[in-house]
Structure 1
Amino acid sequence: MPSPAPSTGPTSVPAGDAYKRQRATAEYSCQDDAPFIITQHKYRSQQFASLYFSRLATLRPVLLAAAREKWPHLPVSSVLDLADKGECVVVGTLYKHMKLKPSILQDYGRERSSAPLVAVGGGSVVGADDTVVLEDERGRVKLVGDVFVPAAWVTGVVVAVRGCEDSKGNFRAMEVLEPGMPWQDFFPTAAAADTRAAANQANLLCCVAYLPTPLSPATWPSSRVSICQSPPPLLGLRRRPPPPPAGAPLPSQGHGAEGAAEGGGDAMVLEEMLLDVLTGHVHSDEEERLSAGIVRVVIAGDSCSFSHLPHSLHDTVNSTSLMHRDARAMAAPVKALDTFLAELSAAVPVDVMPGECDPANYSLPQQPLHPCLLPLASRRASVIRATNPHHFTLGGVRFLGTSGQNIHDMGRLCLARLLRTPSRPAAAAAAGAADADASAAGDAGGVSSSGGGKAEPMEGVERQEEGSKGREGSAEEGRGDEGEGREAEEEADVLELMQRCLEWRHIAPSAPDTLGVYPFQLDDPFVLTTCPHVFFAGNQPRFATRLVRGPQKQVVLLVAIPKFSETCQAVLVDLDSLECRVLSVACPPFPPSSPSPSA
């Protein structure tokens, strides 16, 4: 009997349980052990000077090589030998004197004084009278000059400065050279991507941050989950829970994060809806295919929020004893996270990173959550208790990310809008220019980078740093211009700070000055020796992304992951094209119920 001819038409999907879609997989390698696990280090009351010295020793050869190539006619000098050199190049670490910067001595003075020493308003501590000094192992000198704006820098950045000493003993800067983006491994070949594209299957990484804490529901909310490209329209992946029982209070009418903020029931349902999508409990074949393409989930910190606790319990955290009822209330977020991870890891591998609000050490690098906190999830090999920062390779794509503390701290210490030099928009506009021309800078002065990148729109995806425009239609444009402009400015600030981390070759340049960090002695693990393909930061105000190209053909995707508890959004990253999508959970109201017939 001859074999049947192969079918050339579309394959029909069997109905019922006869068809089960296989979840996509990708090779994974966690690389946190060497740089970020501190169990092999022993604390012996060491100070932080060695951390600065090792940072300078690591980045000095890079800057010296770039300075000799850029200014071959100028000598290289130390801080103490400036008077004998004239115009020269000095390599050192920046230290920024800030009057508004928090200080333990000032805190002690406030406690002893009836009036505060310094009135600090808002989150920023940037002042008009801030000054910057450049220091090496032998001394320090104050930097002056029109090309050097203190508000655009943070303490801890290693740079090479061209200039000369003036009559007052200050170093007048003429040009500043940054380390630039490090070298990068080649992006994975497109052979496997073409195969998946032919099968209409994508490999996606889901990133989510700041999960809501499920509480006892006070209302019966309605929910909708939508997976959308960036920006919308939505793909209509929806689900509605059963209506409230007779006599129950009406559900919350909030949408998205507003609905989640009105009651704990909304937060619980939103988290359950996210779990359903990630585990593949969806309805249509298209939605199932998209869910099956999620090869891994990364929870980028702040997954145990204690903000819902009564104010009286916050004062008992450091006490020696707790009431049994209080202990149960404080353990509820951790138990909820354990249950969530146990259910999620049964369907897809999960990396959980600690954050600022999680029960982990405060200083970076934050160590993995202890297995006793997650007794159910720790039993599964598919749950990786990662560090913060987290470095891993997935499908040949190198990822590096934090829970957002480094970006938040940098945002307090500098004005991100000053980091957008005129050369960056010009480089972004010249998409056809050669990579070498992007890093070239004249000798007239300014800020340049030995491996600086340029920002470009992503291929096939609209650029997100301009904000999510067109969400509400043309009717909302006139009314929301000011709000959208502010949102776009915040998104651009976050992305600019992330890009500067790459160009400064340091994940957390403000540590240990204003950001807690472990006092490493032999090296600085936060120095970037290789360039990742994707650099993400969790717990940001809203979603934003940017594709940065370096002069040595580096390609880095910057992703700002929003807080899920506030925006009800997670981020999907395509491993083949570095395309970003938004997975959004919303809470539309129930349709009005018809009045019951009168008796």
Structure 2
Amino acid sequence: MAPISNESGGNLLSTPGNEKPQKFERQQVQYEDLTTDFNDKLIDFSKQFCHIYSVRLAELRAVLIPQVNAKWGKIQILKLAELEDFEGQECVIIGTLYKHQKCKPSILHELSEDHQLTLPEPRSNYCSEKDQLFLEDEMLRIRLVVEDADLKNYITGVVCAILGHKEKDGSFMIKEWCFPGCVPKSSLAQPKSKGKLLFLSGLDLANNSKSLSLSLLTEWICGMAGNAVAQENATCVVQIIIAGNSVKTVTKTNTLMGHAEGKAKDAAIAKEVAVATTLLDAFLAEIATCCCITLMPGQHDPVNAMLPQRPLHPCILPLTSRFKSFKGATNPWLGKVAERIIMGTSGQPIEDIVKATGAIDISPLDWLERTLLWRHMCPTAPDTLPVHPYSVKDPFIINYCPDIYFVGNTDKVETKLWKGEENQVVRLICIPKFSSTNLAVMVDIETLDIDIINFGTST
């Protein structure tokens, strides 16, 4: 059985009766892709990655200056080069955080070690006792005085303003922080459309294709499971958003490069991916006949590794790509469905933040909220998260206030209705891996209420 978390849905399996079956119509809603900033024309591989920090700082400094004046009144806002003449005096500096961590992955470090053919073991986090926090602008860098226990709250790439003073040893003593904050809402009008959005992630068809839970999910979406109440509830779903790792959730690597065994292993991995993409195509094609789908790629899907990841190529999904109800999306993705602005990633930015902080006591939902306040979806990029070398603008800066902000491929489902100081209301969601939890998250477009649907086979 696959019970729904509230009583309104009942069980998905029911005994047919002699009554005439009811007919339900699935509502159609407006859909708009807002990821125009991920245009290929903005990518210039002849540029260094440092340019993305420069444009990020320039844009967010303009946001921070009026907030600094409102929060701390008329106080000196200094460049780091000007601090020399203001030692011991209270002032504000604006810049980008840099967390010095010796354990961070570095291609230059790996090349300097030796030309070994074996790949290094991935680390669970980059933290050590020698970590230090700095603030840098276009010209200089200054060390920040931060307690060791507080280091876990800060990461590289966050633009902020700091109130404090310069010490005699050249460091900066922090008194208070100011971050860009959530973008103000452009409109407070309630959406006129009704319906529900279904969020999934981590289908992992390479290892989960014969799962009964996946069959129950398909039958429920297509209206072939449950009683009339459950079927009516399913037809309320106007859009399915799949947040990455649909092909697989783990990347198998070959450490025997150049050997015959290694070539055989490469061939086996390629075959596994090919079979899984065929299964994904069949799965999506069946659902696309009755419901609209937005498919985002993930870290372990057959697409480019650098963010923003491009949609899965239509040649990989020949059956599904023929449907107008199917939309291939980027990762991260920003779009509008039925007047609701939806934004999210398949999990890499939050996963990388956890590695950079080593904070096991801070949940992914808390980090999701902080990225909203930092006004940046992927702050650790390009330091430890691979992205394209943007030099004209940073496309990961949050310029919209989303109604729904999600992260995929988490270990468990978490959600929160976040309310800002300027009447912003954002539904934050951590979407769990379906392959390990059998859970999907359903959001009401009108009220932003949440239902957790369990497609597990045990009660």
Q: TM-score range by the shorter chain?
A: 0.7 to 0.9
Q: C-alpha separation between the residues in 2 aligned to 1:356 and 1:405? A: 7
Two-structure CA RMSD over aligned residues (Å)? 3.1
CA distance 1:60–1:339, shift in 2 (3 Å): same
Ranges in structure 1 where 5+ consecutive residues have no aligned partner: 1-12, 194-202, 216-259, 418-488, 590-599
Identify the residue that residue 25 of structure 2 maps to in structure 1.
Answer: 22
Corresponding residue SS for 2:220: helix
**Inter-partner Cα distance in structure 2 for 1:284 and 1:382:** 26
Q: Who is 1:81 aligned against? A: 82
Q: What amino acid does structure 1 have at the position aligned with 2:71?
A: K
Report the Cα offset of residue 121 of structure 1: 9.0
Aligned-partner Cα distance in 2 for 1:514–1:133: 16
Out of 206, 212, 229, which is 2:204 matched to?
Answer: 212
The answer for the alignment partner of 2:4 in structure 1 is none
Aligned to 1:565: 435
Residue in 2 that maps onto 1:393:
336
TM superposition score normalised by structure 1: 0.68
Q: 1:360 to 1:314 in 2, by over 3 A?
A: farther
> Paired residue for 1:596?
none
Measured in 2, the distance between the counterparts of 1:327 and 1:411 equals: 30
Letter in 1 for 2:53: Y
Question: CA separation of 1:329/1:408 partners in 2, compared to 1, >3 Å: closer, same or farther?
Answer: closer
Alignment of 1:117-266 (within 5 A): 123-145=124-146, 149-189=150-190, 203-213=195-205, 265=210
Q: 1:315 to 1:544 in 2, by over 3 A?
A: farther
Offset at 1:111? 4.1
Secondary structure, counterpart of 2:363 in structure 1: helix
Q: Following superposition of structure 1 onto structure 2, how do residues 79-478 of structure 1 map, counting pairs within 5 Å? A: 79-85=80-86, 86-111=89-114, 123-145=124-146, 149-189=150-190, 203-213=195-205, 265=210, 267=211, 269-305=212-248, 328-416=271-359
The residue number in structure 2 matching 1:36 is: 38
Give the TM-score normalised by structure 2.
Answer: 0.88
**1:64 corresponds to:** 65
3-state DSSP of counterpart to 1:172: strand
Aligned residues of 1:339 and 1:376 also touching (Cα < 8 A): yes
Q: Is the 8 A contact 1:389 1:400 kept in 2?
A: yes
CA distance in 2 between counterparts of 1:339 and 1:187 reads 40
> Hey, what's the Cα distance between the residues in 1 that align with 2:29 and 2:256?
44
Q: 1:139 to 1:102 in 2, by over 3 A?
A: same
- Alpha carbons of structure 1 residues 400 and 81: separation in structure 2 relative to 1, 3 Å: same
The 8 Å contact of residues 545 and 560 in structure 1, kept in 2 or not, is answered as yes
> What SS is found at the alignment partner of 2:205?
coil
For residues 306 and 544 of structure 1, the distance between their equivalents in structure 2, rounded to whole angstroms, comes to 20
Q: Compare CA radii of gyration and give the structure with the larger one.
A: 1
Does the 8 A contact of 2:204 with 2:245 survive in 1?
no
Percent sequence identity over matched residues? 33
436, 443, 456: which one aligns with 1:586: 456
Alignment-derived partner of residue 390 in structure 2 = 520
Query: How many Å apart are 1:172 and its aligned residue?
Result: 1.4
CA distance in 1, matches of 2:143, 2:269: 53
* Residue pair 2:43, 2:390 contacting (<8 A) in 1 also: no
Instruction: Give the Cα–Cα distance (whole angstroms) in 2 for the partners of residues 360 and 150 of structure 1.
Output: 34
Conserved? CA contact 1:80–1:139, under 8 Å: yes
Cα distance change of structure 1 residues 14 and 298 upon mapping to structure 2, 3 Å threshold: farther
1:501 alignment counterpart: 371
Q: Which amino acid aligns with 1:583?
A: I
Q: Distance in 1 between matches of 2:444 and 2:18?
A: 28
Alpha carbons of 1:42 and 1:62: their partners in 2 closer, same or farther (altered >3 Å)?
Answer: closer
Contact 1:187 1:533 survives alignment (8 Å) = no
SS at match of 1:581: strand
Aligned partners of 2:133 and 2:146 also within 8 Å: no
Q: Aligned equivalents of 2:133 and 2:144: distance in 1?
A: 6
Cα distance change of structure 1 residues 14 and 136 upon mapping to structure 2, 3 Å threshold: farther
Say if 1:309 and 1:329, in contact at 8 Å, map to a contact too. Answer: no
2:83 maps to a residue whose letter is L
The structural deviation recorded for 1:320 is 8.8
Distance 1:278 1:561, change over 3 A: same
**Equivalence for 1:470:** none
